[in-house]
Structure 1
Amino acid sequence: MFLDRFHTIQNGLIRISPAQASQFAREIAGDYNPIHNPDDRRFCVPGDLLFALVLGQYGLSQEMTFRFRNLLGGNVDLEFREEEDGTIRVFDTGGKLYLEVSRGGEHTSDVTVIENFSRCYVAASGKNFPHTFKPLLERKGVMFNPDRPMVIYESMSLSLERVDIPSPSLDMHNADMEVAGKRGNALLEYRVTSGGQPVGFVAKKIVVSGLREYDPEVMDQVVAQFNRLKEGS
């Protein structure tokens, strides 16, 4: 499976090293957020990797909601637990909760369907910056701290007309953000299509911390640095 390189399993527990998490962020998601760099003191595992691991282990359901409860550091032993009501929770061995997933409707364990959906979702997610966030921040007149950008998942939900989607694609439908002081709550909405036909939607809630007044020159420098990192990968 395409996720094998990005985690290890020992004694039934899943562990993600900083190097594996960073490789996933850059190679699969095209995500160069500094908090996914192995040597960053604020390092955390991409939420997209946890999303993909859940789908890889439990399959794709017609209705799913992912709620991210805590940031996950590197080399943490994780237990993926399925409750009697179908809820999936991801804990560490100390009982700390990182992810909670509710689901319903039709279900598929088809490996090809799951990989294709995971890849298309993660690729679309990786385009959040600068493609989506730069114009959104500019429109709102705010930006994150360029030295300490904190842009993290709060939740993600998906709703599909069916789960047998051979070649899914995610296209941005709408992006908006509510600003409250130094905090922004962004909502990104995507349409899911297959063969040019609509088959569902995805909505992501993202928290942006440390907001300040938008500075076009500084933002251009941030984008230029992002592009240099991407070209050098």
Structure 2
Amino acid sequence: MFLSPYFKKELQLVSVSAQQASEFAKGVAQDFNPIHNVAAKRFCVPGDLLFALVLGQYGLSQTMSFSFEGMVGDGVKLVFPDSVGDSFTIFDDKQKQYLSVERSGTNTQCEVQIESFIRSYVAFSGLNFTHVLVPMMRKHGVMINPARPLVIYESMSFDLVSFDFNHIELSLVEQHLEIDGKRGDVTLKFELHCGDKLVGTGRKTLVLSGLRTLEEGGLNEMVERYESLRVDYQGV
């Protein structure tokens, strides 16, 4: 499985080092959020890697939903039981809860399908900040705190109408931002295609914290900082 370099498993305990998490964020998801940098004071494992590890361990089900409830730190030992039901929760070895999963319908363990699904979805996530959230903030005249930019991955879900695919492409079809004081709730709806055939739909929700009135200088600085991390990593 292509995820092998990004985690360590001993019996039923799965852990992700800061280096592994950072490599996944940058190398697979093209996500340069500084919170995934190895030396970040508020470092956390990408939610997309947790999502990917669940699919790698338990397969891809026709209908799935993921609710993210905690930020996983460097080397935290997560319990991944050998078998689970249609509703389960990922805890650490101290019983702290991080992720709740519900699933139903047909389940596939096909590595080709699972890898394509993961790669397509996390690549979409990696583009969220510069291609989706920044234009959305400009449109609504708000921005997150440039000194402590925090975007919280809240949930994602999807429904597959067909398993007749070896390759999936994801496209954003709807986006919405609801503002309540300093909080912004973002909903992104997407479609999953194999060629010209629709194979599924899904949605992702994010929370923008510390909203304030838009200042172009501050927003541009965040974008430039994000872009510089990409350039430094890719060497282009």
Residue 33 of structure 1 and its aligned partner are, at CA, apart by 0.9
**1:1-233 equivalent positions in 2, closer than 5 A:** 1-81=1-81, 85-233=85-233
C-alpha distance in 2, partners of 1:58/1:170? 22
Residue 223 of structure 1 and its aligned partner are, at CA, apart by 1.3
Letter in 1 for 2:58: Y
Letter in 2 for 1:217: G
Gaps of 5+ in 1: none
Residue 82 of structure 1 and its aligned partner are, at CA, apart by 7.1
C-alpha distance in 2, partners of 1:100/1:170? 23
Residue 37 of structure 1 and its aligned partner are, at CA, apart by 1.1
Letter in 2 for 1:57: Q
Give the paired residue count: 233
Residue 218 of structure 1 and its aligned partner are, at CA, apart by 1.9
Residue 83 of structure 1 and its aligned partner are, at CA, apart by 7.2
CA RMSD across the alignment? 1.3
Residue 88 of structure 1 and its aligned partner are, at CA, apart by 2.8
Equivalent position SS for 2:62: strand
Does the 8 Å contact 1:29/1:126 carry over to 2? yes
Residue 140 of structure 1 and its aligned partner are, at CA, apart by 1.3
Letter in 2 for 1:141: G
Letter in 2 for 1:18: A
Q: What is the TM-score normalised by the length of structure 1?
A: 0.96
Alpha-carbon deviations, 1:120-162, whole Å to 9, x = none? 0000111001000111111111111111111011110001101
C-alpha distance in 2, partners of 1:223/1:170? 24
C-alpha distance in 2, partners of 1:97/1:224? 35
C-alpha distance in 1, partners of 2:194/2:164? 10
C-alpha distance in 1, partners of 2:82/2:138? 42
Letter in 1 for 2:190: Y
Q: What is the TM-score normalised by the length of structure 2?
A: 0.95
Structure 1 55/154 Cα, relative in aligned 2: closer, same or farther at 3 Å?
same
Does the 8 Å contact 2:175/2:188 carry over to 1? yes
Structure 1 84/77 Cα, relative in aligned 2: closer, same or farther at 3 Å?
closer
Gaps of 5+ in 2: none
Does the 8 Å contact 2:12/2:82 carry over to 1? no
Residue 202 of structure 1 and its aligned partner are, at CA, apart by 1.6
Structure 1 219/84 Cα, relative in aligned 2: closer, same or farther at 3 Å?
closer
